[in-house]
A and B are shown apart, each in its own frame.
Chain A
Amino acid sequence: MRAVVLPRLGTVAAWRKEARELAQHGVPAETVTWRVGDGEADLFAAPPAPLDGPTREIRLPREAVSGLQTALCHSDPERFARGYAVLLALSEGRLRWGDRADPAMRKTLEQEKSVRRDIHKMHAFVRFRELPPQEGRRAFGAWFEPEHHIVEAGTPFFAKRFGDMDWVIATPELTAHFIDGALSFTETEAESRPPEDATEALWRTYYTNIFNPARLMVKAMQSEMPKKYWKNLPEADLIPGLIRGAQGRAAEMQARMPTEPPKRREAVARMLPQPEQAAAGSLEELHQQAEACTRCPLHGPATQVVFGEGPPDAALMIVGEQPGDREDLVGRPFVGPAGQLFDEEAEKAGLDRRQVYVTNAVKHFKFAPRGKRRIHSKPDAGEVTACRWWLDLERERVKPKLIVAMGATACLSITGSGANLLKRRGQFETAPDGTPVFVTVHPSYILRLPEEAKAAERQRFCDDLKTALASLA
């Protein structure tokens, strides 16, 4: 038998060093005993024979190394022997890290989890109290009783978090000191709880008042904040009182008669800003009315109505299909990818977007949710008909000399038919009310074409815009 005695400080690092050396020499797990403490070897252990003979390389996956190191912080005295057996099995390929069918591995993983939880609870439940300051930096101290040996693994977190103050966290075994930015550990000599601190009263006030007595759920609290941690929590002694009073407080709230509103209410109501009313007959007025539109179900999932924009006396009106994802978020027509393409081609064609009225046949974004994305779907005839109400009103106010209908939906809305678009494109038609309508494709059609066909089609679209512009002159 070979006995390994590990130090109280730096236990895990020492285990790692010893275990690596033993494993390199292929020392079987059952011939090694492990414990933490000072000197005093095992009564029956032979004096350790020097390791010699051929060595082999030990390689473990990274997650196995970190997992083992965490599991070794557990309070179980068997953990070192089990860890070494697991290490040997892993390095010889007899075991896969994470294979829960193996009892030793399962136990190691369970202990790893339990240590992680204990570290997490340490991060949550350490409560500092302020100590007299030393040379500028504020100083704080805490007493904490963890379940496992986690002081060395758990305190670097506090060094990162409380970098600008000095602190001490004492536990029954080890004490962590953070002085002037340096973290060090010593063995604890005696239990020392720092004296009470004035801010604690405020914290207790907060704890009392943030609790909602109408939702009492004591079990849910205790599963996350087990009683074993209570004795070092300044708020814990409030809990029984809060629980006892909860039902009464909730019943009282329900029984109380509704009161009359205080006088200030009317004064405040007079102060409330009233929404501005746009001038009657203006496009802004139409826009405001359209915001409340529920003529078709599309208003439900969409963010907002995307109304047309441009000068109210524009000679040219451009009508697209419907707002897209981007337009729906921003609230303006033609600002998404298709809008950018339109802007680029319009500029080439000599068309100033500020001089034209740009709008859509349908004013709300129709889409199908696909995970976190919204996929555009084509508005149906019913929705187009419902929204024609607004397009007709826009046409009535703007009275354009020419309408450019981009895509089948726009054609459907304006001319009554959306069929045979590609045959009709580049031609002038007449709307039922006599306004000339020029038909072209929608810019999003160009975006969907294969790369090699795009350039030619963009050129055609630009030429279409030029034709439309020329007819106005």
Chain B
Amino acid sequence: MKRDLSQKLAILSDAAKYDASCASSGGQRRDSRDGKGLGSSGGTGICHAYAPDGRCISLLKILMTNFCIYDCAYCINRVSSQVERARFSVDEVVSLTVEFYRRNYIEGLFLSSGIIRSPDDTMADMVRIAKTLRERENFRGYIHLKTIPDAAPELIEQAGLYADRLSINVELPTEAGMTQLAPEKSARGIRKAMADVRVQREASREVTHTGKRKAKFAPAGQSTQMIVGADGADDAAILGNASNLYGNYGLSRVYYSAFSPIPDASKMLPLIRPPLLREHRLYQADWLLRFYGFEVGEIAGDGMLDLEVDPKTAWALQHRESFPVDVNRAGREMLLRVPGFGAKTVSRILDARRHGAVRYEHLVTMGAVMKHAKAFISTPGWSPRGLTDDAALRSRFVKPPEQLSLF
């Protein structure tokens, strides 16, 4: 039975929705003001729509095909699943991308694929799509290619020249989980591929002795995704792995994806409602690692993050000896550790401090969340007194327990 474009799109976008990544920001600045091409990119990304699952739709996120020779238990497209299969031709993907883009539905293309025949064949087809978009259609929007682990380095090299971002999913936070749930993939192979991308990105930034710049390689960097809750890994292991990936391979983002039940699931997996709150806490912790100067050991000390309060407040509650912080004297590092102060608020405080004392009411206008911050700071016009050491302080941040209704 031959499927039409609409049916294929339905199958292949359904198969792609488990990839959380949708960023379209950063990378090379391009536009088409010269009238010879289509699209622009660089700067902040734009979310063109939101699905009722709260996730943004920024890119046309599809699979080239959902046929796959691998048997990863958590994946809807694994070889042993009964889902319907389909495959796009190169021209179909190109025309969908361009037509959607012209109507301002999307920022670009996020192309992933099941592995058909061999990793090299699959990667070559994906590179052909990116190449056609760039060279035949003069497409200057955003392209994100999912690289296939174990594909030949020459193919990855070409992919990096056409795409803004490359990504490989590490999928499971531990090697043991990987062997159990994704027997054909290897954690080591994935890490090697990330190392290759980093090496090539660094090489492309070097200027030759004649002063010539090399072609940009994946200017928006590389990212990855970890599935949360499919294996037994705790938050400390997940965050430890993430911080290792940020440090080792200069990743732009690590996405955490709460494992959600898939149609026709494998028996090996927990089919429960996805742990969305845990996923949210992991993102908060990720931000603390990257922008707030926290270390993994500090926030995920005993394995799991606190689900009731956010990781920063949890840290502050456990380290009350460091508080209250004097808003007018403390350094940036310490201000960043105050619950309720974001990076922007801290910059505003430091800026305003040069022109006079910062008072309690100023903090409100600077965007600080005083409900969280007030127990941990002192400033002219405000002292928390016993509040900082109050045994009941935690209960101010936790949702009150609910009396079950009798009727």
Interface residues of A (CB under 8 A from B): 96, 98-101, 106, 120, 123-130, 138, 140, 142, 157-165, 181, 197, 199-203, 205-221, 224-225, 233, 235, 239, 242-243, 246, 250, 253-254, 256, 258-259, 261-262, 264-265, 268-269, 271-273, 291, 301, 303-304, 328-331, 369, 371-374
Contacts and interface: CB of A to CB of B under 8 A. Distances in A.
Contacts of A258: 264-267
A99 B99 contact: no
B102 A140 contact: yes
Interface of B: 5-6, 9-11, 13-14, 16-18, 31-40, 44, 46-57, 60-61, 69, 71, 79-82, 96, 99-100, 102-105, 118, 138, 184, 188, 191-192, 194-196, 198-199, 243-244, 246-248, 250, 258, 260-267, 271-274, 276, 348, 351-352, 355, 361-362, 365-366
B358 to A, nearest CB: 9
Nearest to A211: B51
B59 to A, nearest CB: 10
A99 B355 contact: yes
B105 A217 contact: no
A448 B188 CA distance: 32
Given A129-B103, A206-B60, 11 more contacts: A99-B352, A128-B104, A140-B103, A163-B35, A181-B35, A207-B49, A209-B14, A242-B51, A265-B79, A329-B198, A330-B199
Of A140, A181, A265, chain B has the most CB atoms within 10 Å of the CB of A265
A328 B191 CA distance: 10
A197 B11 CA distance: 22
Looking at A100, A210, A218, the one whose CB has the most chain B CB atoms below 10 A away is A210
Nearest to A373: B247
A166 B376 CA distance: 56
A253 B262 contact: yes
B9 A212 contact: no
B33 A159 contact: yes
8 contacts: A98-B351, A99-B355, A160-B40, A163-B31, A165-B102, A200-B103, A211-B52, A268-B79
Contacts of A213: 53
A212 B102 contact: no
A202 B6 contact: yes
Nearest to B358: A101
B51 A210 contact: yes
Contacts of A159: 33
B38 A165 contact: yes
B260 A212 contact: yes
Contacts of B267: 258
Nearest to A329: B195
Given A207-B49, A224-B47, A163 B9 contact: no
Contacts of B71: 265, 269
B74 to A, nearest CB: 13
Contacts of B272: 254
Contacts of A211: 17, 51-53
A138 B263 contact: no
A207 B40 contact: no
Contact of A256 (B10, B191, B263, B352): B263
Contacts of B17: 209-212
Contacts of A273: 118
A243 B52 contact: yes
Contacts of A199: 99-100, 103
B54 A210 contact: no
Contact of B31 (A96, A160, A291, A372): A160
Residue with the greatest number of chain A CB neighbours at <10 A, chosen from B50, B56, B265: B50
Contact of A205 (B6, B39, B40): B6
Given A99-B355, A128-B104, A211-B17, A369 B365 contact: no
Given A127-B103, A160-B32, A253-B262, A212 B49 contact: no
Contacts of B100: 199, 202-203, 206
A253 B263 contact: yes
A162 B81 CA distance: 42
B355 A96 contact: yes
A161 B40 contact: yes
B16 A106 contact: no
B51 A207 contact: yes
B34 A331 contact: no
B273 A214 contact: yes
Contacts of B271: 253-254
A273 B120 CA distance: 12
B10 to A, nearest CB: 5
Nearest to A180: B35
A247 B199 CA distance: 46
A161 B274 contact: no
A225 B53 CA distance: 12
Contacts of A96: 355
A205 B9 contact: yes
Contact of B80 (A224, A261, A328): A261
B4 to A, nearest CB: 10
A253 B265 contact: yes
B112 to A, nearest CB: 13
Contact of A372 (B13, B16, B250): B250
A100 B53 CA distance: 36
A366 B322 CA distance: 32
B71 to A, nearest CB: 7
Nearest to B61: A210
A98 B351 CA distance: 9
Contact of B365 (A100, A164, A262): A100
B33 A301 contact: no
Nearest to A261: B80
Given A209-B13, A209-B17, A253-B262, A106 B365 contact: yes
B282 to A, nearest CB: 15
Contacts of A239: 52
A162 B102 contact: yes
Contact of B276 (A215, A254, A371): A215
Nearest to A238: B52
Given A253-B261, A372-B247, A304 B18 contact: no
B37 A218 contact: no
A100 B362 contact: yes
Which 6 pairs across A and B sit closest by C-beta, in order of nearness? A220-B54, A261-B80, A217-B54, A163-B32, A160-B31, A100-B365
Given A254-B271, A259-B264, A261-B79, A163 B102 contact: no
Nearest to A125: B48
Nearest to A369: B247
B80 A212 contact: no
A291 B102 contact: no
A174 to B, nearest CB: 18
Nearest to B14: A209
A213 B51 CA distance: 10
Given A209-B13, A253-B261, A215 B53 contact: yes
B34 to A, nearest CB: 6
A209 B62 CA distance: 10
Contacts of B188: 291, 303-304
A164 B32 contact: yes
